[in-house]
Structure 1
């Protein structure tokens, strides 16, 4: 490695270390002189006038307006609006983000104007009439809502790319990491970078420039944010051995010192597969950031990145068993890493100079870090991590020289309000709100007894000041923040989504196994030879790697959602798979698509002959009708309604296939292709949803929503098929890729292009999601089925 580069990097770190040491010495001096308590007590006496009310006016509000659980986001936001608190709530929330993430001072007219624009935009978003109607997850977390924003800003391609990237990250996070927190931090960084760019745009920015900037912000945010789960969290976890961590850290250090990501080479350890994925993603991210930056900003980026990494490494190397760390060793790396992490964002974006940004960001970082470490102290203690709080808890009785991190936290707050932000009243309001909110959340999370025990340890040295603080914690109102509310929602959503996805996968697996056993046709004794041949042919077609999506969907809707007994609908499950398999047999014939493989095996007409294949298809259709007529546990009128519906859908499918055959070799319009797709594919999904609904005798309005969902989900499914046909893997697909091109068929890809087809797929995804929102209740299986349809590889 180039010694000059190493010397330059180390000199950069020493400069940052010197600056941090000066800041720490100043804080230490203020702490020792106890100047912070006197100043802050005066601040709090002013502050409490607005936040502690002798007489509450809430009893006069109607019961329906009583404060709801904040976990119900829309009801909580609407309650704030009803009580006249929403504007102030959003103002302090957005103001805090401008301070923390954008490094802004709040006392300038320009910043205040920008904050108010964001406040009003946020208010309009949450107060939309349709906002609270969404079933299941809030729409600010949904992929559909993200894509709708992408359409508005003309960044669909970047968002589609991001969705796929986030899905891959979620699938590759080692089990030793807290997957939900890792994903949350990545999402937070992406949003932070987008917010940086949004703050630099206004109504005069040309639309193409706006789209270009947002596109880059999304990719840059992901590229920088990836370092949190795949560098910080990975190196902090027990996922890698000590030797692997050393190898991995060396790779990162080389990249930051040379500007070139080195190859992995030979990997010594059991986690090679994980590391190779991580290395590939980080290399791509590193190159994107480097290529985006102006040449004069690259040096700043590498310097700040090295400073951040080195401070993390020094912190990571500490052992809780070492009783000899000095206060400087505990706090200086924290000051460096907490400030440099946000300074990097500006260099990543090659952002223009902002007077005072570096200074405010440098002083502000430790405030956030100490607040986060206080919230996480018991998790950190359990993991043996060294933070100011865990170290103080362990050695406070042995080391009277140790600084109390809780007291330093309030010293930092005093310094920020009066030395950094010049005693600005708005800044004081926001910071004190945040501090009391953090303690309230800790008290709620820990319980009063545990919280009081912690306060006895950390706050006993300043009893008068602490009494005032704890009074604020018990009695102060209106200190909540939107970002905390959304953070909690994101974590809950990610955990629930993971459980729902696992349930979806397990349900598909279990129900598929049951259906596989049920659909095989038995051969009675002494049947004619030719009928035995047809049954063998039918069973051959029913075997293989079929997904069984349609009968699985019917089972879920019938048994789980409508409460029908599994035994009662088994004939319906068989009929759906028989009809679907018959359609595939006809589809594959030489007179139609002339396919050579299906479900990972040779097509039926190749194993036997075309005549046998045709007769087997007819045989399966008749078997399907027979199964439907044997739904004996339902009243006759309902079964007749179902058979009549089934016959109509079978006719429509035949028409769709005829339209498809007639279209071969001919250019098609998008409307024509949508129609063919619906009649060939969407109809089958509709039947799988509607037929159990008919048996359950649900309302017509619900059936209408199911039909809309099936229409758009079916087209999304077909577009994904076309995309897979373009570049899919034959073994994964179970049939030859590139067949549409060879047959000169019009597809969504040939009409719209690959990029356009992906956009159309996500448009139908959004419309299908809208249909789900109209359902009487949330059905997670359908949401995950839709996600599977657009994300599958076969």
Structure 2
């Protein structure tokens, strides 16, 4: 235990409480006096001139239909075409600087930085073929390449994938991913903000590299602490045990040993404990001596205020206004204050003050949006509590009135009546109500407003008029949030469909692979058929026939029964190549597909003959494609023979290269000939049967080349760091055989970069294809993310 990092938890929390109590008292006086009504009425009267279209303008703009923001690409194009994009980005980026970076918008430096970000985003939005590509793994990797932080991007993508796969049922994996990504981006923004314009490229690269890792490690606290304790995953006993572990960590500065975990979620907690320990150690190592105590104090305030709120019960009718709102002030401000200490930034009194006062605004807005979900969960928030007890507790503050009080206070007391701040905050407030009305429907929304705003009828009438008529109040971060959630959920559904397809088709293919002895007059066993079936029965992935099935049936509409011979031929050819590859004269492998290799079970001669037998069986199967015209089948057989020839050349090149120095280009060529060609065949052969055009075949070949090389690089990486049980074959065979692999030439880190480069090139090839199929995208994701 590091004694220097021990904090006086009670003292730091009491100090924070006193400050929050003073702020709350100030707000309480204002809300009781309804001071916000005349102040904001005047602000809105001025504000609305920029947001209410005059009837003549409205008449002439009727033909320019505004797309729904859910029509993401059309909406961005519409904003650009109508000249609204600049203002849209200006209020959006200004708001982020206000909320996330704690900036004052009247600062010339802030205005310069906002304009710079706007130009960058606008350039990406108007010149990129698809913003979804920018948000994809390939798009993010390309951005990382420009900054020289590819290794960190690869690392964080692997981490995000692992987190998502480990989240239990009962937790929203897509929302957790989105939140994690948002926090990573937020930390990067803070780091970029404190960089000077004269920073060297190398220093910038180092700072960004650290920011990505810090963002991930800090972001972990949300799914693995806050969300986990809120979710109905842990038992009450486990929650108490886990909360105590986190509390001890924040007080002592060290993650304690987990010890014996007796609950049902032992595996989950062990994984989380390992990740959190790694996270805290990294953050601590990054801290300067002057910031580390501050980090733990702010983290404790945030955690403890969450805990205070978490144990509240909606059935308790006796919570005071202070008990309801002070923890909210603390957790909403400390969550943003922590970021500065995470990145070890210098003290900034202005940032601290603005962030402290600002936090409750965001929390009240979020609680308003989640009000009905919180009510179903029985969660205590200012809105759920007021809904339940307003008629029994006249002393309770109306949280909707407090929300407008906070807005008024921020504009005029914190940001000194700055016009830009007033504009942005009113934009955001009206937009929030518009989104609520759209989500609930007009009838339910009006009932809600009648309940919360009945005490200020004139002010409410003004607000609702703005909600109905005001335009140009939407925000880019909300658009991105909705788009990201939609994409993540679609990705999950597509991935589930992909894995289901693989499982189903794999079983179907396994059923048609066995070879039967057709020689009825023979009384002798035919060991070559038994040997072939032994090799075919192994636990193969069947990727090549699965790809051919999907392209043939789903994309080209070929009959399933008609292409069964093609599927057999692809697996026979692939299995034959593995038999030859495993021979003592080549790799001398002892295990393949989780079982002893064929030459060990029989002998080398039988193995060689079996490989030749399966090659000929593959050609026989192709010649059996009797539901297609003979010219097409002949073209397919000629293509197959050519591919087999190239594969043999590739294997010969591989054998000949052992012990020699290879260039990266030579290794790419060798890998494609060994691996990529088989993937190409599984795409091109169904295309030949379907009479696809040359342009489409060219795009498929480009995809296959880069996907095949990426697949081979992943194989090379698994050979040095994979799990032998999962792989079904020994690891370390490449080094033992002196094979020239991507790892041997580039090292593990360089090999990962090369794999992701080919991944990006393959993804870019998909974008050029006339047919947009998610199957190939998920096939590629499977190739680079597999563990066997």
The interval holding the TM-score normalised by the smaller chain is over 0.9
Match of 1:39 in 2: 39
Match of 1:96 in 2: 95
Residues 57, 650 of structure 1: alpha-carbon distance in 2 compared, 3 angstrom cutoff = farther
Q: Give CA deviations for 1:717-753 in whole Å, capped at 9, x if unaligned.
A: 1001111111222211111100010111111011111
- List alignment gaps of at least 5 residues for structure 1: none
Match of 1:158 in 2: 152
Q: Give CA deviations for 1:632-676 in whole Å, capped at 9, x if unaligned.
A: 222222212211111111111111111111111212111111001
Matched, 1:375 2:374: no
Q: Deviation at 1:3?
A: 12
Q: Deviation at 1:247?
A: 0.2
Equivalent residue runs for 1:352-751 within 5 Å: 352-524=346-518, 526=520, 528=522, 532-751=526-745
Match of 2:15 in 1: 15
Q: Distance in 2 between matches of 1:557 and 1:2?
A: 59
Q: Give CA deviations for 1:167-218 in whole Å, capped at 9, x if unaligned.
A: 0000011111122212111111111001111222354210010001001100
Match of 2:747 in 1: 753
Match of 1:190 in 2: 184
Task: Identify which of 291, 294, 298 aligns with 1:304.
Answer: 298
Whether the 8 Å contact between 1:665 and 1:743 is mirrored in structure 2 is: no
Q: Give CA deviations for 1:350-380 in whole Å, capped at 9, x if unaligned.
A: 1123341000000000000000000011111
Whether the 8 Å contact between 1:226 and 1:282 is mirrored in structure 2 is: yes
Q: Which moved more, 1:309-318 or 1:609-618?
A: 609-618
Q: Give CA deviations for 1:382-410 in whole Å, capped at 9, x if unaligned.
A: 11111001111111111111111111000
The DSSP-based 3-state class of the residue aligned with 1:522 is: coil
Q: Distance in 2 between matches of 1:632 and 1:55?
A: 70
Q: Distance in 1 between matches of 2:152 and 2:5?
A: 35
Q: Distance in 1 between matches of 2:52 and 2:9?
A: 51
Q: Distance in 1 between matches of 2:577 and 2:457?
A: 79
Whether the 8 Å contact between 2:187 and 2:212 is mirrored in structure 1 is: yes
Q: Deviation at 1:498?
A: 1.0
Q: Distance in 2 between matches of 1:492 and 1:763?
A: 26
Q: What do you get for the CA RMSD once the two structures are aligned? A: 1.6
Whether the 8 Å contact between 1:720 and 1:790 is mirrored in structure 2 is: yes
Residues 62, 367 of structure 1: alpha-carbon distance in 2 compared, 3 angstrom cutoff = closer
Task: Identify which of 233, 247, 266 aligns with 2:241.
Answer: 247
Whether the 8 Å contact between 1:583 and 1:617 is mirrored in structure 2 is: yes
Q: Distance in 2 between matches of 1:210 and 1:315?
A: 40
Matched, 1:108 2:107: yes
Q: Deviation at 1:527?
A: 5.2
Task: Identify which of 776, 780, 786 aligns with 1:782.
Answer: 776
Whether the 8 Å contact between 1:74 and 1:126 is mirrored in structure 2 is: no
The DSSP-based 3-state class of the residue aligned with 1:66 is: coil
Q: Distance in 2 between matches of 1:731 and 1:295?
A: 46
Whether the 8 Å contact between 2:680 and 2:704 is mirrored in structure 1 is: yes
Q: Which moved more, 1:607-616 or 1:277-286?
A: 607-616
The DSSP-based 3-state class of the residue aligned with 1:127 is: helix
- List alignment gaps of at least 5 residues for structure 2: none
Q: Deviation at 1:268?
A: 2.2
Q: Deviation at 1:18?
A: 0.4
Match of 1:25 in 2: 25
Match of 1:52 in 2: 52
Q: Deviation at 1:630?
A: 1.3
Residues 141, 598 of structure 1: alpha-carbon distance in 2 compared, 3 angstrom cutoff = same
Q: Distance in 2 between matches of 1:635 and 1:45?
A: 76
The DSSP-based 3-state class of the residue aligned with 1:426 is: helix
How many pairs are equivalent?
A: 788
Q: TM-score, normalised by structure 1?
A: 0.97
Match of 1:79 in 2: 78
Q: Give CA deviations for 1:520-570 in whole Å, capped at 9, x if unaligned.
A: 112236254677221111100101110100001111111111111211111
Whether the 8 Å contact between 1:17 and 1:336 is mirrored in structure 2 is: yes
Q: Distance in 2 between matches of 1:398 and 1:180?
A: 39
Task: Identify which of 763, 767, 779 aligns with 2:757.
Answer: 763
Q: Distance in 1 between matches of 2:125 and 2:463?
A: 33
Runs of 4 or more, structure 1, over 3 Å off, are 1-7, 56-63, 527-531
Whether the 8 Å contact between 1:666 and 1:745 is mirrored in structure 2 is: no
Match of 1:283 in 2: 277
Residues 636, 16 of structure 1: alpha-carbon distance in 2 compared, 3 angstrom cutoff = same
The DSSP-based 3-state class of the residue aligned with 2:394 is: coil
